[in-house]
């Protein structure tokens, strides 16, 4: 079962992995700008997200295997791989297992450590949606607002809405599997596996996902490392300061 992806541009392969509850489409604007700079950009949907296949099984090992099979199916060698949040963990583990397929690794606002579960309100809100009674985007937003107060987060989540049938809304993600396996999102990656190729870590200035204390472990696992902070941004650094994010990414992959 192959992952769904939007592909555009020509040049060296540049793969982008979204975060939990996201999809490749979240990266369309940035992806097109990267493509203009001479890359073949692949905006992937990871399993149980976007238009990719649904499975009751969900873990980083499986997402890495999906990515390996995707690279084989598209005959991709020496990829630039960018992952945000959950996608960043997939990218780190992929690079540590299949370094021979890697050119550059870019990790956006996540470390290899364990993170406690912190999406429960969002998952509860999504689970509460009754599409037999909710018939418009506005109604879904209203329902979700009881669980998720942040408008930006709700807009991000509502990208998953689509018309399953005439007059019937649904979510593209496999919500049941994501709820069942929610604890998998925060698991720590193996400490004995790393990647010694070119690596860029980008952290949001206002984000607490990568702390000063985390840097010892990160440097040990990714010794050929550059760390850059994206100003005026939190965990959604690529959306909150896209110009700075893009310039750091392009400077890194072009040098």
Active-site residue 235, yes or no?
Answer: yes
Measured between alpha carbons, how far is 126 from 183 in angstroms, rounded to an integer? 17
From 18, 49, 174, 235, active-site residue? 235
Per-residue b/e over 99-111, b at no fewer than 16 CB within 10 Å? eebbebbbbbbbb
From 52, 85, 207, 233, active-site residue? 85
C-alpha distance across the termini of the chain, in Å: 35
Backbone angles phi, psi at 213, to 5 degrees: -65, -25
User: CA distances (Å), 90 to each of 68, 75, 148, 173, 237, in order?
Assistant: 11, 20, 26, 18, 18
Measured between alpha carbons, how far is 97 from 71 in angstroms, rounded to an integer? 14
Give, to the nearest 10 degrees, the angle between helix 137-145 and helix 120-128: 140
Active-site residue 207, yes or no?
Answer: no
Q: Which residue numbers are catalytic?
A: 85, 235
């Amino acid at each position: 079962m192959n992952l769904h992806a939007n592909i555009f541009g020509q040049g060296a392969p540049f793969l982008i992995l979204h975060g939990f509850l996201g999809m490749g489409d979240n990266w369309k604007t940035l992806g097109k700008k990267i493509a203009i700079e001479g890359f073949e950009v692949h905006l992937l949907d990871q399993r149980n997200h976007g238009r990719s296949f649904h499975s009751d099984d969900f873990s980083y090992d499986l997402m890495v295997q999906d990515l390996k099979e995707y690279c084989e199916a598209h005959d991709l060698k020496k990829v630039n791989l960018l992952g945000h949040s959950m996608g960043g963990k997939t990218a780190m583990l992929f690079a540590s297992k299949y370094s021979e397929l890697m050119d550059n690794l870019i990790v956006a606002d996540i470390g290899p450590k364990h993170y406690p579960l912190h999406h429960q309100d969002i998952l509860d809100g999504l689970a509460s949606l009754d599409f037999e009674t909710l018939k418009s985007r506005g109604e879904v937003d209203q329902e979700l607002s009881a669980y998720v107060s942040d408008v930006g987060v709700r807009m991000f989540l509502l990208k998953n809405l689509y018309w399953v049938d005439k007059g019937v809304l649904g979510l593209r993600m496999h919500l049941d599997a994501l709820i069942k396996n929610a604890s998998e999102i925060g698991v720590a990656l193996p400490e004995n596996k790393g990647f010694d190729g070119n690596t860029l870590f980008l952290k949001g200035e206002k984000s607490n996902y990568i702390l000063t204390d985390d840097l010892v472990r990160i440097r040990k696992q990714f010794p050929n490392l550059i760390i850059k902070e994206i100003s005026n941004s939190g965990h959604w650094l690529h959306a909150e300061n896209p110009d700075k994010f893009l310039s750091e990414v392009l400077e890194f992959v072009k040098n």
